[in-house]
Amino acid sequence: MTRPRLTALAQSLPATVPFVGPETQERQRGRPFRARIGANENGFGASPRVADAIAASAPEMWKYSDPENFELRQLVAAHHGVAPENIMIGEGIDGLLSLVVRLFVEPGQPVVTSLGAYPTFNYHVAGFGGRLVTAPYRDDREDIEALLEAVKREAAPLVYLANPDNPMGTWWEGGEIQRFIEALPDTTLLVLDEAYTEMAPASSRPPLDPARPNVLRMRTFSKAYGLAGMRCGYAIGEAETIRAFDKVRNHFGMSRMTQVAAAAAIADQAWLADVLARIADGRRRIEGIAADNGLAALPSATNFVTIDCGGDGAFALKVMQSLIDRDVFVRKPMAPRLDRCIRVSTGPEDELAIFAKELPGALAAARGN
């Protein structure tokens, strides 16, 4: 049958799903999970003000959203002490990453990232024809010295770094990140993904410098603010760099409902503080569960804990699958050396109690006992 032809680039790419969602797994399994602690969602939920704002605005959903995201940009800018011109709102960090690659990477150009880091970024690089150059993790952290060496060796226009890191939950202190920034060539754009920064020590954040044109700081409402289903993130950067997004972005990409929800969320900092305390308690709970089973939990500055299962990647995969068979949704890193671990998100105590109950049996099954 004759059909429209894909571009040569599209024909060269596999159909990729960076993450298989829990809903897909539930359909395949024919039953729901009892503990949904694998997707780094905020199981404690968004501020009650969000639900109130959504309900109040529902009758106005016949209107298009504001394509300039004016009110939300004002609120986000005020929260960070920068100008609205330094803020770009987008469809989650994922959507912004796609635009960044489209703006700054020509087909065939090198893009530097860590081997095993956030896979959706790699997906966008491949989709726009970039060439991935990866540096392995060192001591379960992204190796910023190796990333810098790769940038200079390859003359890369773009480098990606997450701080804190996903999937390991580890982090660098802000001073180390600042030294990395200052050592970068002026022609290399750093995408500093700070999706989990609200949960990290304040010392992990270098000072905001909206005058620097080669750094974009990425933040999200999906994690600490509990709005993963709304798909809203933002970039903080130098005004001219931010204006470049207007060349390629979907100007009506943010729904009116999402704009309302995000505005209500950022206005309730008291709720955020309460959630951050619960996330910290959840990390300690998961660390305790790991220790009770003879496993080591990596230090975490996120809303998840990465647990070293004490074996190789094949063993950790068995542990994860055994937990899934017991209706506990978790995930794991897949890159070499990192793949010895599973990753468990914080959440309500009833779900962590299920994890605590099922982990011993999952470990036994993985060991063949």
In this predicted structure, what is the pLDDT of residue 68? 97
In this predicted structure, what is the pLDDT of residue 56? 97
In this predicted structure, what is the pLDDT of residue 369? 77
Ordered structural domains, the chain, with CATH: 20-45+270-366 (3.90.1150.10), 48-267 (3.40.640.10)
In this predicted structure, what is the pLDDT of residue 1? 79
In this predicted structure, what is the pLDDT of residue 17? 79
Which pairing describes strands 110-114 and 158-162: parallel, antiparallel, or unpaired? parallel
Long-range contacts formed by 289-297: CB under 8 A, 24+ apart: 289/352, 289/355, 289/356, 289/359, 292/356, 293/359, 293/360, 293/363
User: What global pTM score does this model have?
Assistant: 0.96
- Euclidean distance between CA atoms 245 and 98, whole angstroms: 11
In this predicted structure, what is the pLDDT of residue 136? 98
In this predicted structure, what is the pLDDT of residue 18? 78
- Euclidean distance between CA atoms 190 and 318, whole angstroms: 36
Q: What are phi and psi of 220, to 5 degrees?
A: -145, 155
Whether residue 303 contacts residue 346, with contact meaning beta carbons closer than 8 Å, is answered with yes
Q: What is the pLDDT of residues 235-281, one digit of tens each?
A: 999 999 999 999 999 999 999 999 999 999 999 999 999 999 999 99
- Euclidean distance between CA atoms 308 and 300, whole angstroms: 13
Which stretches in the chain have pLDDT values below 50? none
Nearby residues of 319 by Cβ (< 8 Å), 6 or more positions away: 309, 342, 362, 363, 366
In this predicted structure, what is the pLDDT of residue 16? 79
- Euclidean distance between CA atoms 189 and 210, whole angstroms: 13
